[in-house]
Amino acid sequence: MLLFTALFNFALLGLASASTFTNPLRASGPDPFIVYDHDTSSYLFMQTSGNGLRVTKSSTLDGIRDTANEKLVFQNQDMKDRPTVWAGEIHKVDGNWYIYYSHADAVWVVSGGTDPVGDYNNPVRLYDRGWSLDNTVLMVNGKNYLVFSCHSSDVSNNTIGGSSICISPLTSPTAIDQSQVTVISRPEEAWEQSGGNTNEGPQPLYWAGQTYITYSASFCSTPDYSLGLIHLTGDDPMDAASWTKKTDGPVFHSGNGEYGPGHNGMFISPDGTELWNVYHATWHPEGQCGDDRSTFAMKVDTTNGLNFGSPVTSGEYTAPSGEDVSPVTAKSEMIALTEPTTTIQLAELTSQPVEAAQATLTSSSEARETTHRTRGSKSRLVTGYDY
């Protein structure tokens, strides 16, 4: 009887691991962000939505597709008058939830509470030394930093035209030390300059005891919009020399009929064993900066370094590992993951050739074409993902 029970439970685990989701997650979904909240066993999703901040909460990745799960959590008159609210990200800092976002060429934050889909208030502009965009929170050695896109000319004399990546210490969840702002990446490589010199959309990536930042390079209205990557190889994230850029090309670029993949978010599977990339891409060969960009999610191959692969196509894929695992089990596995294990060398970071096949795609080419037509119309762990 015990053997039967064990086999039965094993079979149930096998069925649970077979959960699926469908790409794209959103037909119109620019600037996506996802984090998994272990306290509620839910994915929290945000995207650019024009005139307000909206959070989708779902127990499964596929549930993000249902806009009925979306809630408007903050909107003020200024957002209604100037509907240019971009790139919202929801972060738990010191036990409470905050949303960091862009509006009217500046980076802002609103404060929430312990409920990620509760009320938010008190909008605060975080940086007023010049133009800014796409702010996110970086956690290194127990300290919090704001990372955002900036004009390097506002920060230093060592300038290059276009947008760069800046960092500043967070003195609280709603304030930075504006006397300490460092440029840590500039669009100095040719592959960062198509359509305009661009480094934007920074996103922390924590894996195997290492800290990275992905960012979007080149201008969004070109097919060359792509993901670059810098690696924290020194001790001080405020020291530009502590960051090493992968200079020989993007780690993620157009492929498989999907163009301009970028402005991504990085998240960890519910059981803590997989690294995932959520990003937007368009089927327009010339690129796209508007709403005609769809949200896709795909697993990053971490077998030998970090291999971002090529953009996935529309269809059904295996869901992140652990969607059906209990919160206690997922939490314990997450803690185990945060122990530093191996050092990933920058040379190991690769991008899969454009023509390489993608795993687990089960839809037909006809289904993909149909989808394309419809698309047009406090425990603070090392990973930083433990919400």
Q: What is the CATH number of the domain that holds 291?
A: 2.115.10.20
Q: In the chain, what is the greatest distance between 2 CA atoms, to the nearest angstrom?
A: 75
The answer to whether position 104 is within a domain reads yes
The answer to whether position 166 is within a domain reads yes
How far apart CA 350 and CA 138 sit, in angstroms, is: 23
CA-based nearest residue to 51, from 31, 28, 88, 81: 81
Q: What is the pLDDT along the chain (387 residues), one digit of tens a residue?
A: 434 334 334 334 444 445 999 999 999 999 999 999 999 999 999 999 889 999 999 999 999 999 999 999 999 999 999 998 999 999 999 999 999 999 999 999 999 999 999 999 999 999 998 999 999 999 999 999 999 999 988 877 666 789 999 999 999 999 999 999 999 999 999 999 999 999 999 999 999 999 999 999 999 999 999 999 999 999 999 999 999 999 999 999 999 999 999 999 999 999 999 999 999 999 999 999 999 999 999 999 999 999 999 999 999 999 999 997 544 444 433 333 333 332 333 333 434 433 333 333 333 333 333 344 344 432 222 334 444
Indicate the burial class of 335 (C-beta count within 10 angstroms; 0-12, 13-18, 19 or more). middle
Rounded to two decimals, the pTM is 0.83
User: What confidence score (pLDDT) does residue 125 get?
Assistant: 98
What total number of domains does the chain contain?
A: 1
The answer to whether position 384 is within a domain reads no
User: What confidence score (pLDDT) does residue 354 get?
Assistant: 32
How far apart CA 279 and CA 38 sit, in angstroms, is: 22
How far apart CA 277 and CA 217 sit, in angstroms, is: 16
Q: Helix, strand, or coil here: 65?
A: helix
DSSP annotation of 321: T
How far apart CA 84 and CA 245 sit, in angstroms, is: 31
The answer to whether position 383 is within a domain reads no
The answer to whether position 385 is within a domain reads no
The answer to whether position 135 is within a domain reads yes
User: What confidence score (pLDDT) does residue 245 get?
Assistant: 98
Centroid of chain to Cα 383 = 14
User: What confidence score (pLDDT) does residue 93 get?
Assistant: 97
User: What confidence score (pLDDT) does residue 339 get?
Assistant: 32
Whole domain around residue 310: which residue ranges? 2-376
The answer to whether position 386 is within a domain reads no
User: What confidence score (pLDDT) does residue 85 get?
Assistant: 95
The answer to whether position 192 is within a domain reads yes
166 within 8 A of 158, measured Cβ to Cβ: no
| Helical segments of the chain, H only | 2-16, 77-81, 327-337, 365-376
